[in-house]
Chains A and B, each alone.
Chain A
Amino acid sequence: MTHAFSVPGRYDQVAIVCQFVVAGAEQSGFGIDEIFQIELACDEACTNIIEHAYGGEEKGEIQVTWDFSSGAFTITIVDEGRPFDPDEVPKPMIPADPDNIDNLQIGGLGIHFMRKLMDEVHFQMDDKKGNRLVMVKYISESEQQ
């Protein structure tokens, strides 16, 4: 069963979206560490939408669904903003170089977190339909028991 939720694209709505997704992860049986990772990935995804796809607040909606099936927790986040190409976002210097203070890149951290914390991350761009982001986290066998 797919669970759906929509909010206006505002920063104060991001935590509400995350609560919706976290509740799903809890119901699906994830442990607290994985739930924290899912929450952070969801937070970064929504923040990116407001910042990059919509270019600011109150420009459109963020639609979120989650589904848990065969051990896979799938989050789908859709927006109607301009096509968002993750490859166009400057890549952060990871690991950060403390001796190179002036060149420390801190943009693009959100995408790095999403890819690091989730098992699968897929960006789909469409000029007419907007952006669709699909992120998947697999539950470990020990958590399923």
Chain B
Amino acid sequence: MSIRDEPLNDKIWLVTISGRLDQSQTDDLQTLLHNLISGGHHELIVDLAEVSYVNSGGLRCLVTGWREANNLGGQFVLCCLNSRISEVFSTVGFDQVFRIFSTREEAEQQISIT
């Protein structure tokens, strides 16, 4: 399990999470997202391609980041969810809250044109 972050271009910041998105990672992820957003990186893509598991704590962490970015007029989008992770999101209707894209390129394109 790990969390990586890097600039994708001069506007968008990319956060890549792998492994289990549960209590083992939420503190680190919450801190990272807060630091990025409060540090001026309001346009974020969170890549979940390598996430094998997510629980309500993981969802709560993503919602907090999404809310923080939105409040500052930014964008917080997700990409590359596998079918099982997608099912968890749709179980609670979070697929309607987040903007979710199939690929990283698609997410990047959508942020760039808005």
Contacts and interface: CB of A to CB of B under 8 A. Distances in A.
Interface of A: 11-12, 14-15, 33, 36, 39-40, 43-44, 47, 92, 94-98, 101, 104, 106, 109-110, 112-113, 116-117
B88 interface: yes
Contact of A44 (B20, B55, B67, B97): B55
Given A15-B24, A106-B59, A96 B92 contact: yes
Given A109-B59, A110-B56, A95 B24 contact: no
A61 B55 CA distance: 22
Interface string B65-98: 0010011000000000000100010011110110
Contacts of B67: 101, 104
Contact of A109 (B23, B24, B56, B70): B56
A47 B56 contact: yes
Given A33-B84, A36-B84, A104 B55 contact: no
Query: For B20, B23, B59, which residue has the most chain A Cβ atoms within 10 angstroms?
Result: B23
Contacts of A43: 22, 55
B56 A104 contact: no
Describe A's contact surface by its main secondary structure: helix
A92 B24 contact: no
B40 to A, nearest CB: 21
Contacts of B111: none
A109 B92 CA distance: 8
Interface in B1-44: 20, 22-24
Contact of A94 (B24, B71, B84, B93): B93
B72 to A, nearest CB: 12
Given A40-B55, A101-B70, A106-B63, A116 B91 contact: yes
Contacts of B71: 101
Nearest to A112: B92
Contact of B56 (A95, A96, A113): A113
B23 A47 contact: yes
Contact of B88 (A40, A47, A95, A106): A40
A84 B67 CA distance: 30
